[in-house]
Amino acid sequence: MGQVLFYKDLWKEEFWENPWELGGLIVIGLFTVTFLFFILFAVLFGLLFPSEQTENEE
């Protein structure tokens, strides 16, 4: 059982030392944050500036 915990800790340390793995994690994080920001932006401006109805639309 102790050996399994050792390998798990070793894997975690190796993951953070590999720059490609860390770079991929950063790219995925930036993509997710950007996507959520665009959704927030759309909702915010949709609520602040609702479209005005013209006379033809009832």
Q: Does residue 55 belong to any structural domain of this protein?
A: no
Q: What is the per-residue pLDDT for 55?
A: 67
Q: What is the per-residue pLDDT for 36?
A: 97
Q: What is the per-residue pLDDT for 31?
A: 97
Whether 22 contacts 16, CB under 8 Å: yes
Q: Does residue 58 belong to any structural domain of this protein?
A: no
Q: Does residue 33 belong to any structural domain of this protein?
A: yes
Q: What is the per-residue pLDDT for 35?
A: 97
Q: What is the per-residue pLDDT for 21?
A: 80
Q: Does residue 19 belong to any structural domain of this protein?
A: yes
Q: Does residue 32 belong to any structural domain of this protein?
A: yes
Q: Does residue 26 belong to any structural domain of this protein?
A: yes
Structurally, the chain folds into a number of domains equal to 1
Residues spanned by the domain of 17: 8-47
Alpha-carbon span 49 to 29, nearest angstrom: 30
pLDDT along the chain (58 residues), means of 10: 58 72 91 96 85 64
Q: What is the per-residue pLDDT for 47?
A: 81
Q: What is the per-residue pLDDT for 9?
A: 65
